[in-house]
Amino acid sequence: MRDGTIVIAGASLAGLRGAEALRANGFTGRLVVVGDEPHPPYDRPPLSKHVLTGEIPPGATTLPGVGALRAEWRLGTPALGLDRDGRALHLADGGRVAFDRLLIATGARARPWPMPGEARLAGVHTLRSRDDATALAAGLAARPGRVLILGAGFIGCEAASSIRALGLPVTVVDPAPAPLAGALGSVIGGFVAGRMEAAGVDVRLGARVTHLEGDRAVRRARLEGGGTIEADLVVVALGAVRNTGWLAGAGLDADEGGLSCDGACRALDAAGRPVPGIFAAGDVARFPHPLYGNRPVALEHWGNAVAQAAHAARAMLDGPDSVEPYGELPAFWSSQFGLNIKSLGLTEGADAVAIVQGSPRTGRFLAVYGRAGRTVAAVSVNAGRWLPAYEGPIRDGALFPPITGGADQPRPEPMPPGLPAHEAA
Amino acid sequence: MTDAPDGTLFATARDPANRADPYPLYARLRAHPVARQDDGTWVASGHAAIRALLHDPRVSSEDLPPAEHPPTGNPVKDWIVNPLKDWITDRHRPFIFRDPPDHGTLRRQVMGQFTIARVRGMKRRTESLVAECLDRCAGRRTFDLVDDLAYPLPVTVICDLLGVPREDEPRFHAWATQLATALEPESRHDEELRARNTETFDAIAAYMRDLIREKRRAPADDLLSGLATAKDGQAGRMSDPDLVATAILLLIAGHETTVNLITNGMLTLLRHPAEFARLRADPERAPRVIEELLRYEPPVHFRTRLTRAPIPVAGTVIPEGAPLVLLFAAGNRDPARFPHPDRFDPDREDNQHFGFGGALHYCVGAPLARIEAEAALTALAARLSAPRLAEDPPPYRPGASLRGPKRLLLHIDGIG
C-alpha cells in the first residue's frame, strides 16, 4: 500500500525519520505530520550540552530534510484524542484528521516536579524540549548564585557538566548511591561521581529534596531529614513520562511507561492484539526485545528513534509480515565532564560488571555487564573505538565475561554492578 | 558453507598478474568471510568479520618479526652496536605496530599536532602546490599523472607538515619506497629485502635524530618541532626513539598512500566519464566522489595482524598466534554490506568503508589525504582538456597491499 493518507503523530526525530523512510520506500500518498510544539523536528542531544553552554543557539538544532518530504505539517496543534474505529485524530484546534494508517511518535516529556505549586516557582526548570533549553539558558545567563539539579541521571549530569563549564556553582541531589546508577550501576557511576567532584560539583548522594521554597521565585530546597540548599535556579531532572495521555479511551495498551506494540511496531489493544493500521516508534513505543527474552522495553535512545521509525515505515508499506521482529541493539552515548560514555545493550537486571579493557585509573576503560553468566551490555568511557568488538558477544549472549586474553586487558574481576533492584518480567 | 575454502586464493590475488583487477578473486574469498590459507595465514574478507576483528582486543598489531641486523664480520658491530640498535627498534616500534596502552599514548600526541589551524594551512598550501604542478605541464599533450602530480604532491605536503627541508626530499623518496616494502607480507621471508630495509632504517633514523636535534635548537611551526618540544602535558611526552619511529612512520605513510588515492581516483573517473563530467560541472561533489573512491579503489588493500588468543568469528575460530590479514578492499565490495558493491556510485548513502582502515588504528592522516585528493581531482577535472587514458589497465607498482599504478599516462588536448 503506497497511497492513501498516513498521519504521523509527533513532529519528532522518530516522526521525521519515519516520514523520510515512507517516502524513500515509495509512499506516494498524502502525508500529514502533527506536532504539539510549534517547531519543526529538532535534535535533542545538544540541548543539554552545547545549547546550555551557549556554543550553539537553540534554533540551530533543527534537523535537516524537512522540506523535501511533501508533507503537510500541523505544528503547534497537539493531538487530543484518537478515534480508533473512525480512524481519525482530534486536534487541539478543533480539527479532525482522518487517516488510513497512523504512526504514533509522540515521544516523552520531562517528568515534572510533583508539587505543582512549587513547580510553578520562577527559576524552576525542566530540560527536555527546545523551549525548555531556551528558558534554562536564559536563566543561566542571569548568573544565578547556585544551581540545584534534582536527579543525577544522564540529563542531570550533562546539565551539571554544561553549567559548571559556565563557571556557576552547582549542587546535584539524588537519592541513589551514585550518579547514573539507574543506567550504569554504582561501580561505573562512582567513577563519574569522582569526575563531577573534581569539576567542582557539590554532589549529594543518598539525599532527597522534599520541597522547593520561595515567594515568587525559588530560593531554597528542603532536604529529607532536615537541612536546606540555597539555590535560585533549579533543574528538575527526574526522568521522562511517555506522551500517551491523549490515547486514553482509544482502547490501546498505553500508560506512562509507553504504548505497547509488537515486533512489527503495530500498536496493541488492551487485550494485547495488534490494531490494524496503527503503528508506534521512538521513545513512546514499548516493544518486546528479542535479544532480551522479549521483555517489553521502551528506549529513550536517539538511535532507537531512527531505526524503529524506519522499521515501522517498512511494516506500514509492505505489511507486518514483511519485516523481522524489531530487535536493534540498544545504544546510546553521553558526554559530560570530559568523558565520552557509550553504551551497547541493556544493563537492566545485570548481576555483574567487569572492567575488561583499560582502567579507571587512566580514565579510559571498557566495562561489560553480565546477567546469569551471559553478556548483556558494554559501556566504554573515553574508549569508544573499543566498543564495537562487544556487539557480537551481546547479540549472541556470549558467556560472561567475553573476550579475554587481548591487549591491555586486566584480569577481569567481576563484581556486583550496583544497579537498582530489577523487577523480574 | 558449501565447499572448503581454497587455501591458495589470497596468494593468487596477490600475484602481480592480478594486480590490475584482484576484485573477482576477492569475491571468491568472501564466500568464506574468514578462511585459513595454505601458508597458515587467516584472511578476513567479509565486511562484518573485518569490522569485528578490527575492534577485537585479541587482534594485535604487534606482528613485526624482531629487528635483526645481518652479520657484518665486524665484532664491535655484530656484538654491541647492532644488537643495541635492534633492542631499541623492537621497543620503539611506530604506533601503527603497537597495541594499547602504548599505542594510544603515542597516537594522541600526534593527533594533538593536527590542529585545525595547521590542517587549514595545509589545505591552502595543497591547492597552490596542485596549481604549480599543473602549470609546469602547460603545453604538453601527454601527462603522467604519477610523476607530474600524484607523487610529488603528497611528498611535498608531508615534508612541509613534518618540517623536513625540501632539498632532502629526493633522499626520502628512495628511503620511503624501500621501507614501504616492509608492509608487504612477502618481505617478512625475504632475507635480502629485510637486510636492505634494516640498512635503510638505520640511515633514515640517523637523519631523523639529527633533524630532531635541529628542531629542538630552532623550533619552527611544524609537526616535528611540536612533538620534539612538547611539554610534559596530559598526553605525556615521547622518548627520542619513539619520536624517531613516529617521524619515519608519518613520512612513509604520507609518501605511499595518497599517491594511490589520487592515481586510482583519476583512473576510476576516466573509466566513468559521466562521473568525471559531473565533478567538473560541480566541484562540490568532490567529498562524495572521494569517499566512494576510498571504498571502490582503496589505497591500502589490506593490513596484517596477529591473534593473541583464539577468536570465534564468522562461524570459525582463528587460533592463537595466527597471522591474520584484514582484506579491507574485499570488505569494501561485500554485497552483504553495500548494495551493488561493484558499481562506482558517489551518490551512495551509508558508505562505511575501510578506506582508512578503522578502529584504534584508523588513519591518522585521513583529513590530510582527503584535502590532497580533493585539491588534485577537482583541479584535474577543471583544467585538463579532454583527458584520455593512454593505457588501460596501466602498469602497477609491485605492492599488493599499497596498490596503485606505477604510471598513469594521459593524453590531453591541453591544460587550462
User: What digits encode the pLDDT tens for the residues B103-117?
Assistant: 998 999 999 888 888
Q: Which residues of B touch A385 (CB under 8 A)?
A: 55, 359-360, 362
Task: Give the chain A residue nearest B308 (alpha carbons).
Answer: A406
Position A297 scores a pLDDT of: 96
Q: ipTM of this predicted complex? A: 0.81
Rounded to a whole number, what is the distance in Å from the CA of B287 to chain A's nearest CA? 19
Rounded to a whole number, what is the distance in Å from the CA of A371 to chain B's nearest CA? 21
Query: What does pLDDT average to over chain B?
Result: 93
Q: Which residues of A touch B308 (CB under 8 A)?
A: 405-407
Nearest to A406 among B56, B104, B313 (CB): B56
Residue B312 carries which DSSP code? E
Mutate to test the interface with A, among B51, B56, B305, B324 (most CBs of A within 10 A): B56
CB pairs under 8 A between A and B: 54
Position A93 scores a pLDDT of: 95
Q: What is the tens place of the pLDDT at every residue in A388-404?
A: 999 999 999 999 999 98
Q: What is the tens place of the pLDDT at every residue in B219-256?
A: 999 999 999 998 765 556 789 999 999 999 998 888 78
Q: Do A385 and B101 touch (CB under 8 A)?
A: no
A181 membership: H or E segment, kind and range: helix A181-198
**Mean pLDDT to the nearest integer, B298-313:** 96
A200 with A277, same domain: the answer is no
Mutate to test the interface with B, among A20, A408, A411 (most CBs of B within 10 A): A408
pLDDT at B1 over 50: no
Contact partners, residue A372, CB within 8 Å, separation at least 6: A351
Rounded to a whole number, what is the distance in Å from the CA of B254 to chain A's nearest CA? 24
A125 with A221, same domain: the answer is yes
Q: Which A residues 309-338 touch B at CB under 8 Å?
A: none
A364 interfacial to chain B (CB closer than 8 Å): yes
Nearest to A389 among B52, B60, B101 (CB): B52
- Direct distance between the N- and C-terminal alpha carbons of chain B, in angstroms, rounded to an integer: 55
A223 with A262, same domain: the answer is no
Rounded to a whole number, what is the distance in Å from the CA of A1 to chain B's nearest CA? 24
Q: Residues of chain B with pLDDT > 90: what percent?
A: 77
pLDDT at A424 over 50: no
Task: Please give the C-alpha separations between residue A350 and each of A293, A421, B108, in angstroms, as whole numbers.
Answer: 14, 10, 34
pLDDT at B324 over 70: yes
The highest-confidence range among A263-272, B85-94, B150-159, by mean pLDDT, is: A263-272
Task: Give the chain A residue nearest B53 (alpha carbons).
Answer: A389
Among the listed residues B19, B107, B28, B29, the one whose alpha carbon sits nearest the alpha carbon of residue B61: B107
Among the listed residues B66, B57, B67, the one whose alpha carbon sits nearest the alpha carbon of residue B101: B57
Distance of CA B79 to the CA centre of its chain: 35
Q: How many domains does chain A have?
A: 2
Q: Where are the beta strands (DSSP E) in B292-385?
A: 303-307, 311-313, 316-318, 323-326, 384-385
Range of the domain at A272: 5-109+241-322
Q: Do B308 and A407 touch (CB under 8 A)?
A: yes
A316 with A283, same domain: the answer is yes
A145 with A196, same domain: the answer is yes
Q: Where are the beta strands (DSSP E) in A142-208?
A: 147-150, 170-174, 202-205
**Mean pLDDT to the nearest integer, A357-378:** 95
Position B235 scores a pLDDT of: 57
In this structure, is residue A345 part of a structural domain?
no
Query: What does pLDDT average to over chain A?
Result: 95
Rounded to a whole number, what is the distance in Å from the CA of B362 to chain A's nearest CA? 10
Rounded to a whole number, what is the distance in Å from the CA of A386 to chain B's nearest CA? 6
Q: Which A residues 382-401 touch B at CB under 8 Å?
A: 385-389, 391-392
Q: Which residues of A touch B101 (CB under 8 A)?
A: 358, 362, 408
Nearest to A408 among B51, B57, B362 (CB): B57
A343 membership: H or E segment, kind and range: strand A339-345
End residue of a domain, out of A272, A292, A322? A322
Q: What is the tens place of the pLDDT at every residue in B327-372?
A: 999 999 999 999 999 999 999 989 999 999 999 999 999 999 999 9
**Mean pLDDT to the nearest integer, B92-99:** 94
Burial class (CB in 10 A: 0-12, 13-18, 19+), A227: exposed
Position A409 scores a pLDDT of: 79
Q: Residues of chain B with pLDDT > 70: what percent?
A: 98
In this structure, is residue A193 part of a structural domain?
yes
A101 with A118, same domain: the answer is no
Q: What is the tens place of the pLDDT at every residue in A108-138?
A: 999 999 999 999 999 999 999 999 999 999 9
Q: Are A161 and A337 in contact (CB under 8 A)?
A: yes
Position B2 scores a pLDDT of: 53
Nearest to B60 among A386, A392, A407 (CB): A407
Nearest to A406 among B104, B308, B313 (CB): B308
End residue of a domain, out of A265, A287, A322? A322
SS3 B142: strand
In this structure, is residue A360 part of a structural domain?
no
Q: Are B176 and B295 in contact (CB under 8 A)?
A: no
Task: Give the chain B residue nearest A387 (alpha carbons).
Answer: B55
Position B188 scores a pLDDT of: 75
In this structure, is residue A11 part of a structural domain?
yes
Alpha-carbon distance of A283 to B397, in angstroms, equals: 54
Position A425 scores a pLDDT of: 36
In this structure, is residue A384 part of a structural domain?
no
A120 with A223, same domain: the answer is yes
DSSP string for residues in A9-42: E--SHHHHHHHHHHHHTT--SEEEEE-SSSSPPB
Position B116 scores a pLDDT of: 86
A139 with A79, same domain: the answer is no
Contact partners, residue B163, CB within 8 Å, separation at least 6: B211, B215, B220, B222, B223, B224, B225
A146 with A45, same domain: the answer is no
Position B232 scores a pLDDT of: 63
Q: Which residues of B touch A387 (CB under 8 A)?
A: 55
Among the listed residues B25, B55, B47, the one whose alpha carbon sits nearest the alpha carbon of residue B314: B47
Q: Which residues of A touch B307 (CB under 8 A)?
A: none
Task: Please give the C-alpha separations between residue B141 and each of B42, B387, B413, in angstroms, as whole numbers.
Answer: 47, 9, 6
End residue of a domain, out of A192, A220, A236? A236
B56 interfacial to chain A (CB closer than 8 Å): yes
Position A422 scores a pLDDT of: 62
Q: Which residues of A touch B100 (CB under 8 A)?
A: 357-358, 407-408
Q: How many residues belong to chain A?
A: 425
As assigned by CATH, the class of the B9-415 domain is mainly alpha
Q: Which residues does residue A340 pair with via DSSP β-bridges, in sequence order?
A: A335
Q: Do A386 and B55 touch (CB under 8 A)?
A: yes
In this structure, is residue A220 part of a structural domain?
yes
Nearest to B55 among A364, A385, A407 (CB): A385
Q: Which residues of B touch A392 (CB under 8 A)?
A: 52, 313
A43 with A89, same domain: the answer is yes
Q: Where are the alpha helices (DSSP H) in A199-299?
A: none
The grid cell for B275 is 562521473
In this structure, is residue A425 part of a structural domain?
no
SS3 B289: helix
**Mean pLDDT to the nearest integer, B15-23:** 97
A161 with A53, same domain: the answer is no
A40 with A91, same domain: the answer is yes
Q: What is the tens place of the pLDDT at every residue in A135-156?
A: 999 999 999 999 999 999 999 9
pLDDT at B89 over 60: yes
Position A66 scores a pLDDT of: 81
**Mean pLDDT to the nearest integer, A291-317:** 96
A370 interfacial to chain B (CB closer than 8 Å): no
Question: CATH no. for residue A47?
Answer: 3.50.50.60
Alpha-carbon distance of A261 to A273, in angstroms, equals: 9
